[in-house]
Structure 1
Amino acid sequence: MNRLTLISRTGCHLCEVAEQTLDRIAPQQWTKVDVDSDIELERDYGDRVPVLLLDGKEHGYWRIEEERLLRDLARQPGEPRL
């Protein structure tokens, strides 16, 4: 299972930028989910895509903070953030 999930939408420019960023810094380590595929995702994230989840928890939205993401990926799942 990938630690990273990108919640995105077709035709979303920021989503495309987020995908390119993830391909560059974490190739083949993330999955994409279409926000419009599930009513609960649409309700929770519909106006904030792209949304990045790390280990199932929201890490950020609209833009990927690369330095923060790399730092957090270096931690083991469940390890507390300092």
Structure 2
Amino acid sequence: MVLFTRAGCHLCDDAREVVARVCGTLGETWHEVDVDTGPESATLRDRYGDYVPVVEVDGVQQGFWQVDGDRLARRLTGRR
């Protein structure tokens, strides 16, 4: 699971808390990618820049702007 974020984004801070809680409860791993830094930043900014935070599970976008913890949990448990 990937959470795409950017620095200084209050929605990203909220999303990070939801993702950490849900993944912690389910024992899922996740990582965070800043769309403004790193080797793929130009591509990521083009793809997600107006939508961060964005959650992807298995390469499929699950949500943006506000992360629904219940929906994320259903998606993560449904893939097992």
Aligned to 1:62: 65
Task: Encode CA deviations 1:4-62: one digit per residue, 9 max, x unaligned.
Answer: 10000011000000011111111362100001121010001001100000111111100
TM-score (norm 1): 0.83
* Distance in 2 (alpha carbons) for counterparts of 1:52 and 1:73: 12
Alpha-carbon RMSD? 1.4
* Distance in 2 (alpha carbons) for counterparts of 1:42 and 1:21: 22
Q: List 4+ stretches of structure 1 deviating above 2 A.
A: none
Partner SS for 1:17:
helix
Opposite residue 76 of structure 1, the aligned amino acid is R
Aligned residue pairs, count: 74
* Distance in 2 (alpha carbons) for counterparts of 1:35 and 1:66: 22
- Unaligned 5+ runs, structure 2: none
- Unaligned 5+ runs, structure 1: 78-82
TM-score (norm 2): 0.85
Structure with higher RCO (Cα < 8 A, 6+ apart): 2
* Distance in 1 (alpha carbons) for counterparts of 2:56 and 2:79: 15
Choose from 36, 52, 74 the match for 1:49.
Answer: 52
Q: 20-29 or 42-51: which moved more? A: 20-29
Question: 1 or 2, which has the higher helix percentage?
Answer: 2
Task: Show the 5 A alignment for 1:15-26.
Answer: 15-26=12-23
